[in-house]
Copies of this chain bind each other. A is one copy, B any other.
Amino acid sequence: MAEPGVQSVERALDLLEILAELGGDAGLSELSEQSGLPLPTIHRLMRTLVARGYARRLPSRRYALGARMIRLGESAGRQLGAGARRHLARVARELGETANLAMLDGEMAVYVAQAASSHSMRMFTEVGRRVHLHSTGVGKALLGELPDAAVRDIADRAGLSPATDRTITDVDGLLAALAEIRERGYAVDDGEQEIGVRCFAVIVPGAPVPTALSVSGPAARVSFEFGERAVPVLHEVARDVGAELSEG
């Protein structure tokens, strides 16, 4: 970021991000190590965030994210979903299958928008739902953006649980699949999350959070021939979505 922002706001956001990345709670010393800020500075900023409900102080004198963060997160999800939905609707219209937009969230992906196919037999994925990375199209597309070491770390932490007997459950197999995804530019979930369901997914370039766009449906309709037609559409729409998400 070439243009410096308001320093104290940046610092407060840094602290919130550290708490989110730690996934639990942290003491001031940990926050100091991670942020490089002096304790009194952190203390003052955390006091502000606590007072506003965006962080909470535990009896152990450690800090965690606060309830008001949920509200902002939900609102953002709805707004982004609304903005993205017209782009996803184009996928659904042109390809005739269900389009989904998902973001990287820790060791999982979370669906933030959807446009449904007009078919009676179609994918239904609830917005806000979190799914494993290794067994979904969007998840594998997101993993393909990470270095192998990060993929191994995620695999260690989240595990590679089998959703079906087609799910990749060993990290070497996964890494090989990701190398292929990187080379060809899209991911396929071929019955790995749900038997009889196929999904093609691509990365949304330029999104502030790693984001993937997918089209999916019954394998009978979403064939590999379908995929050859679908992938260019996905790439094109992904660019539009990325432009919308990164506006600014």
- A residues with a Cβ closer than 8 A to B are 1, 3, 5-6, 8-10, 12-13, 16-17, 19-21, 23-25, 44-45, 47-59, 64-80, 82-83, 103, 105-106, 110, 112, 126, 128-130, 207-209, 211, 244-248
Contacts of A74 in B (CB 8 A): 73, 105-106, 110, 130
The smallest C-beta distance from A106 to any residue of chain B, in angstroms, reads: 7
Contacts of A52 in B (CB 8 A): 1, 5, 10, 13
Looking at the complex, which one of B9, B16, B23 makes contact with A72 (CB distance below 8 Å)? B16
Extra contacts, 17 of them, besides A6-B44, A20-B75 (Cβ < 8 A), are A6-B48, A9-B12, A23-B75, A24-B79, A53-B209, A64-B79, A64-B80, A66-B80, A66-B245, A67-B80, A67-B208, A67-B211, A68-B208, A69-B73, A73-B73, A73-B76, A74-B105
Could you tell me if B65 and A80 are in contact, using CB atoms closer than 8 angstroms?
A: yes
Given that A6-B45, A12-B6, A78-B23 are contacting pairs, would A53 and B105 also be in contact in the complex, using a CB cutoff of 8 Å? no
Give bound CA distance, A101 to B75, whole Å. Answer: 19
Looking at the complex, which one of B13, B70, B106 makes contact with A103 (CB distance below 8 Å)? B70
Could you tell me if B6 and A71 are in contact, using CB atoms closer than 8 angstroms?
A: no
Contacts of A66 in B (CB 8 A): 76, 80, 208, 245, 248
Could you tell me if A77 and B73 are in contact, using CB atoms closer than 8 angstroms?
A: yes
Could you tell me if A51 and B1 are in contact, using CB atoms closer than 8 angstroms?
A: yes
Could you tell me if B71 and A70 are in contact, using CB atoms closer than 8 angstroms?
A: no
Closest 8 CB pairs of A and B: A73-B73, A5-B48, A53-B208, A69-B76, A50-B248, A20-B75, A65-B76, A57-B248
Pairs across A and B, CB under 8 Å, 21 listed:
A5-B47, A5-B48, A6-B45, A8-B8, A10-B48, A56-B246, A58-B247, A64-B79, A64-B83, A65-B80, A66-B76, A67-B209, A67-B245, A69-B75, A70-B76, A70-B110, A71-B73, A72-B73, A73-B74, A126-B129, A128-B129
Looking at the complex, which one of B6, B58, B59, B248 makes contact with A8 (CB distance below 8 Å)? B6
